[in-house]
């Protein structure tokens, strides 16, 4: 059995171009689907996959770990940068899909079988609609409350918000008060039984991140995400020590070594590897094993397309420390047209029942994908009020 080629299918989905990866084999009807979506880096990732393709043609797709080692280590430069890491991830996910199909079982069966009955989903405020999630004004607490209510009406028991405004490295009380008002409005709207998450998008400086974390501590957040840059891991660890709120981070980290540092520093209670960036399902499984040794929970980053979601769900059914799956469902209205899925989502409670089809259990509708060719992603440029560059 041999790999004969690797194709990339780019599907423009407003904020992102989904990059679907199709690994082809010499066996009739046997191919695997992966995803390597990296917003604002679409053409670089497509090129990086092309660079890797020459390494894999003629190789046996079932030797996933061996091929992973080749992709990561060969040609001198290790695959721990975001572009190469994403390219490797997309191919790795597709190889697992192939292996499941070869053996006629789902990926989670390959990994030792189901460790839970269902997986809980959480949504973004507004369901992933860009304007609701990213552009609700920080001084519009009522809107945060209304969107929270809407998420619960749609069946979700957990949701994530961007209730921390873009903030200069030091600002006074105003942004902190905004964040408190927004979280209070959401808590009042949904009560104590619903889990609320706040994603800081690593906007704050370490000290502002600390102020936000302390101010929001009374609201019992499920987790508080990326309170400052991952480059300042020691400061994430300080915040984790200073509050009882579980701190989450990791969506920008590539490879097990980066997560080793995060875990050694006791920086988080929740790791958030992105399966489409961190090195794929192979690396995500090693990261999960490492996190297990620290009793840290896992909640993969997953705001991308449907192959990423299927990969996250398969991982979740075989990973004990996996607590919840990020999901978007209103980013584009034709989302479900490009994919058929093996798992099912129960509307009440938004829980996912397992896939029984081989591999990832999905098929991509290539004709539908062709209707949405590459376009430049919507640019997100952030400047503070004095004109200096900020974090989005």
Question: Active-site positions?
Answer: 201, 301
Q: How far is the CB of 233 from Mg ion (least distance, A)?
A: 16
Phi, psi of 387 (to 5 degrees): 90, -5
- Considering beta carbons, is residue 8 or 309 the nearer one to Mg ion? 309
Phi, psi of 6 (to 5 degrees): -130, 120
Contact status, residue 23 vs residue 87, Cβ threshold 8 Å = no
Residue recorded with tokens 């709120």? 245
Residue 379 per-residue DSSP state: P
- Considering beta carbons, is residue 92 or 274 the nearer one to Mg ion? 274
Q: How far is the CB of 378 from Mg ion (least distance, A)?
A: 18
Where helices occur in 191-325 by DSSP H, the ranges are: 206-216, 233-242, 255-264, 280-293, 306-317
Site string for Mg ion, 57-96 (x = CB under 5 A): ----------------------------------------
Say how far apart CA 28 and CA 51 lie, in whole Å.
Answer: 25
* 331 sits near Mg ion (criterion: CB under 5 A): no
- Considering beta carbons, is residue 61 or 300 the nearer one to Mg ion? 300
Could you tell me whether strands 325-327 and 339-340 are parallel, antiparallel, or unpaired per DSSP bridges? Answer: unpaired
- Considering beta carbons, is residue 92 or 199 the nearer one to Mg ion? 199
Q: How far is the CB of 251 from Mg ion (least distance, A)?
A: 5
**C-alpha distance from residue 363 to each of 23, 112, 331 (Å):** 13, 23, 20
Q: Looking at 4-12, 193-201, 213-221, 363-371, which segment touches Mg ion (CB under 5 A)?
A: 193-201
**C-alpha distance from residue 340 to each of 90, 292, 327 (Å):** 18, 32, 16
- Considering beta carbons, is residue 31 or 133 the nearer one to Mg ion? 133
Task: Provide the Cα torsion 243, 246, 251, 255; round to 10°.
Answer: 100
Member of 199, 326, 331, 341 binding Mg ion (CB under 5 A): 199
Q: Looking at 31-39, 83-91, 197-205, 281-289, which segment touches Mg ion (CB under 5 A)?
A: 197-205
Quick one: residue 14, left, alpha or beta (phi over 0 = left, psi -120 to 50 = alpha)? left
- Considering beta carbons, is residue 337 or 391 the nearer one to Mg ion? 391
Using DSSP's 3-state secondary structure scheme, residue 24 falls into strand
Q: How far is the CB of 142 from Mg ion (least distance, A)?
A: 24
Q: How far is the CB of 232 from Mg ion (least distance, A)?
A: 16
Q: How far is the CB of 323 from Mg ion (least distance, A)?
A: 15
In the bound state, the residue with its beta carbon closest to Mg ion is 199
**C-alpha distance from residue 179 to each of 176, 215, 263, 277, 350 (Å):** 5, 8, 28, 30, 27
Contact status, residue 344 vs residue 354, Cβ threshold 8 Å = no
- Considering beta carbons, is residue 8 or 205 the nearer one to Mg ion? 205
How many residues bind Mg ion, per CB under 5 A? 1
Say how far apart CA 360 and CA 313 lie, in whole Å.
Answer: 9
Q: How far is the CB of 102 from Mg ion (least distance, A)?
A: 35
Q: Looking at 65-73, 101-109, 125-133, 191-199, which segment touches Mg ion (CB under 5 A)?
A: 191-199
Say how far apart CA 171 and CA 332 lie, in whole Å.
Answer: 36
Say how far apart CA 273 and CA 301 lie, in whole Å.
Answer: 6
Give residues in contact with Mg ion (CB under 5 A).
Answer: 199
């Amino acid at each position: 059995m041999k790999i004969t080629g690797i194709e990339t299918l780019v599907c423009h989905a407003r904020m992102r171009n989904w990059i679907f990866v199709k690994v082809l084999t010499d066996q009739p009807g046997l191919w695997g689907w992966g995803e390597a979506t990296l917003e604002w880096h679409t053409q670089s990732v497509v090129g990086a996959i092309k660079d890797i393709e020459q390494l894999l043609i003629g190789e046996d797709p079932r030797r996933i770990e061996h091929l992973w080692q080749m992709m990561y280590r060969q040609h001198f430069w290790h695959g721990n940068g975001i572009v190469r890491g994403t390219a490797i991830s997309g191919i790795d996910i597709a190889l697992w899909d192939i292996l499941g199909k070869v053996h006629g079982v789902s990926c989670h069966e390959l990994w030792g079988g189901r460790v839970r009955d269902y997986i809980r989903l959480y949504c973004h405020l507004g369901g992933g609609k860009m304007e609701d999630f990213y552009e609700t004004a920080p001084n519009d607490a009522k809107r945060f409350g209304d969107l929270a209510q809407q998420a619960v009406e749609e069946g979700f028991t957990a949701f994530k918000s961007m209730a921390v405004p873009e903030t200069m490295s030091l600002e006074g009380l105003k942004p902190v008060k905004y964040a408190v008002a927004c979280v209070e409005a959401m808590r009042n709207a949904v009560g104590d039984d619903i889990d609320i998450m706040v994603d800081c998008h690593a906007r704050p400086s370490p000290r502002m991140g600390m102020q936000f974390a302390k101010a929001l501590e009374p609201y019992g957040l499920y987790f508080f995400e990326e309170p400052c840059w991952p480059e300042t891991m020691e400061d994430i660890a300080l915040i984790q020590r200073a509050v009882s709120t579980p701190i989450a981070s990791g969506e920008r980290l590539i490879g097990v070594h980066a997560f080793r540092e995060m875990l050694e520093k006791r920086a988080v209670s929740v790791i958030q590897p992105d399966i489409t960036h961190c090195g794929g399902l192979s690396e995500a499984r090693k990261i999960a094993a490492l996190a297990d040794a620290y009793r840290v929970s896992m909640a993969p980053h997953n705001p991308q397309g449907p192959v990423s979601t299927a990969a996250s769900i398969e991982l979740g059914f075989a990973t004990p420390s996996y607590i919840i799956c990020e999901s978007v469902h209103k980013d584009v209205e034709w989302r479900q047209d490009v994919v058929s899925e093996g798992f099912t989502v129960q509307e009440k409670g938004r829980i996912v029942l397992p896939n029984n089809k081989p591999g990832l259990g999905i098929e991509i509708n290539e004709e539908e994908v062709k209707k949405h060719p590459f376009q430049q992603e919507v640019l997100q440029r952030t400047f503070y009020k004095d004109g200096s560059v900020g974090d989005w």
